[in-house]
Amino acid sequence: MIQIANINFTIITYLIFKIAIITGSRNFEPVKSVMVNFLLLKHVEACSFAFHSLLGPVRTIKCLENEALSCESSTVLEWLKNSSPGTSLDILYSSCLDHKRYAGTHVTSFIILAGLFAREARYLCQEKGYDVVAVVDEFRKCSKVCAELLKEYKKLDTSSMDHSQLCRLLMHKTENGSLNQPGAFVGADLARQVSECFLMHGGKHNGAKNGDWQLGAVVVKTFQSCREQTQCRVFDGAVVPIHQENQSLARLALKGATYGNFILVEGDINFSSIKSSFSKAKAFMPLTLSMGESRNFANELSNFKRQLKEPSDFEDSVARHLQFHNVAVVMASGTIPFAIRHLCAQSYGILLLQNVALKDVETLSRVFSCPVLSDVLMLLPTAATTNDSLNNYVSHDSAQIEIIEDGWNIYGIISESAKSVDSMFVGIKVKDGPIKSCENLRLNQRPVTVMISSRTISLTAEIEKHFWSNLYRQRNAYKVGYIIPGKARTESYLAKTIIDSDAAKTNILRACFADALKYYASIINRNADLLGETSCDNDIYDDVIGKSSALARAVGLVEMMLRLI
């Protein structure tokens, strides 16, 4: 009887995905890979995995080969073994993270699962020499935990709770051990368990073929999503290896941002030169966080910074201030193309691209057909902003742009003539350098802010004060958020606190970034009608997809069929 049910499930799944592909989605991997994942998860009835699994690249697990590993197994597991390079757990991660549906809020109550999947897939295969069967067993175990978590949270009345209450509730439920499961990463100390869960060992060649290097090159910090910072517990983070040929794990990390987490991907990785300049990548060795409370975060980051060739104080300022929902910040030139594609397929967010290599700009212009992203800040290094090179990639629409020059050679905000929030521009002129400006990328009627900055721009305190004061007036007039100049620093522009005299020496994007993003979040709220809802507090996710993508029809069909099954 079970075998017959399995066959029926397989046939129906195949038909569903075949129809879904025909309906126009461009994000599907081969049906075979999708079916494998569904077969592994079909027993988890509580997880509405179909909806989210269709939104991103769906890949299967590949056990990375080394001398100690044997990957023989059944036909299904051979599919896993021979699938795309890298340990992609996207579908499993998304399966159990529909916290909006089950908890009614932006609290990521199932972040544990991502760590379990990632840790077990790599650790058990490579470090312990387990074969694929053992790894799949771990996935099944985690799926059971997911089901238990969902059952618990579906019992809760969260309608009257604010974000901070839900944060406390989440920590209380898990720290009391009520959801403790043998072998699962939940229990008395959730923060410590999550940290252990996310720990992934990178930074060395793993013996795989075809240049599939495991680098602990991307540092991902995942934060509890709370509107109010009070009583919010900061989750530990993860070190996610980037594969030269398959960045699925980085996509997996970015996916969390669309579920209410703040995710920071830090690194400046040139994928084309990973092999030849591995010593450079060592500046971004894995960061292992052992703490679970925000008060320890600065110390941990300080320890990490000492490992870097060029220590930065950017991380701790972000960690202190950015704990609110629906913000995705991505920093790493190598991660830009697929990061944007993935966020486009998921939800709205604020995307920061720092030190974008010029070669990536062309890619950006192609993938900026995203109807969902709300704001994009793009910062280019000085080397990329000469007139000739810039004009190769960015054209100018003078009818849409009115560059405002002030006495400090800093070019201002878009003209009001643009008439809509989907046409925001910023250009910054490097002192004594050529004028820079940007094309309206438009993002299919979504608002976009583009900034060209210089890593070498030197602003004195007086210049900086003038800049922020002038910008504040323009921000009110044109409803444009903060624009952060290179090498500038201010603790809080709105509070008009004293700006450091050594602004030119400090790292880009200090604490003012928090206020900037808060303002952008308010813009999203004010323009929520563009997203089809009245407030960011509502679950706009389904509605946005429903209004903007042909994929929605396929998603709806799959969900309907799964209910029948």
pTM comes to 0.17
Residue 502 scores a pLDDT above 50: no
Establish how many alpha carbons lie within 13 A of residue 215's alpha carbon, considering only the half-sphere containing its beta carbon: 29
User: Among 174-183, 307-316, 423-432, which range has the highest average pLDDT?
Assistant: 307-316
**Residue 440 in tokens:** 């309206």
Q: For residue 215, what are the β-bridge partners?
A: 242
Round to whole Å and give the CA distance between 410 and 431: 8
Residue-level pLDDT at 155: 52
**Which whole number is the average pLDDT over 490-501?**
22
pLDDT of residue 293: 26
**pLDDT of 143:** 46
User: Dihedral sign, CA of 456, 462, 464, 466?
Assistant: negative
Is the pLDDT at 558 greater than 50, yes or no? no
> Which single residue is written with the structure tokens 């100690």?
68
> How does pLDDT run across 246-263, given as a tens digit for each residue?
233 333 333 322 222 222
Average pLDDT over residues 408-432: 26
| For residue 522, pLDDT beyond 50 | no
Residues in the chain: 565
Instruction: Say yes or no to pLDDT of 129 above 50.
Output: yes
User: Using an 8 Å Cβ cutoff, are 392 and 361 in contact?
Assistant: no
pLDDT digits (tens, 9 = 90+) for 376-393: 333 222 222 333 332 322
Confidence of residue 488 (pLDDT cuts 50, 70, 90): very low
Per-residue pLDDT of 63-108, as tens digits, reads: 222 222 222 222 223 333 333 323 333 333 333 333 323 222 222 2
Contacts 24+ apart (CB under 8 A), 420-425: 420/445, 420/447, 421/447, 421/479, 421/523, 421/527, 421/530, 422/446, 422/447, 422/448, 423/447, 423/448, 424/448, 424/449, 424/450, 424/478, 424/480, 425/400, 425/401, 425/449, 425/450
pLDDT tens for each residue of 463-481: 333 333 333 333 322 222 2
List pLDDT tens digits, range 257-298.
222 222 223 233 332 322 222 222 222 222 222 222 223 333
Is the model more confident about 216 or about 251?
Answer: 251
Q: What token pair was written down for 215?
A: 């680098």
**Does pLDDT of 124 surpass 50?**
no
Query: What is the Cα–Cα distance from 278 to 276, expressed in whole angstroms?
Result: 6
Q: Helices 358-367 and 336-344 sit at what angle, rounded to 10 degrees?
A: 20
Q: Which of 317, 340, 319, 316 is nearest to 330 (CA)?
A: 340
Q: What is the mean pLDDT of residues 51-57?
A: 25
CB distance 286 to 261 below 8 Å: no
Q: How far is it, in rounded angstroms, from Cα 4 to Cα 2? A: 5
Mean residue pLDDT across the chain: 31
The sign of the torsion formed by the CA atoms of 109, 110, 114, 120 equals positive
> Above pLDDT 70, what percent of the chain?
0
Mean pLDDT check: name the lowest of 110-124, 144-158, 295-309, 313-327: 313-327
What H or E segment, with its residue span, contains residue 408? none
How would you classify the pairing of strands 350-353 and 215-223?
A: unpaired
Average pLDDT of the segment spanning 111-127: 39
What is the structure's pLDDT at 335?
34
pLDDT digits (tens, 9 = 90+) for 159-204: 444 433 433 333 333 333 333 222 222 222 232 222 222 222 222 2
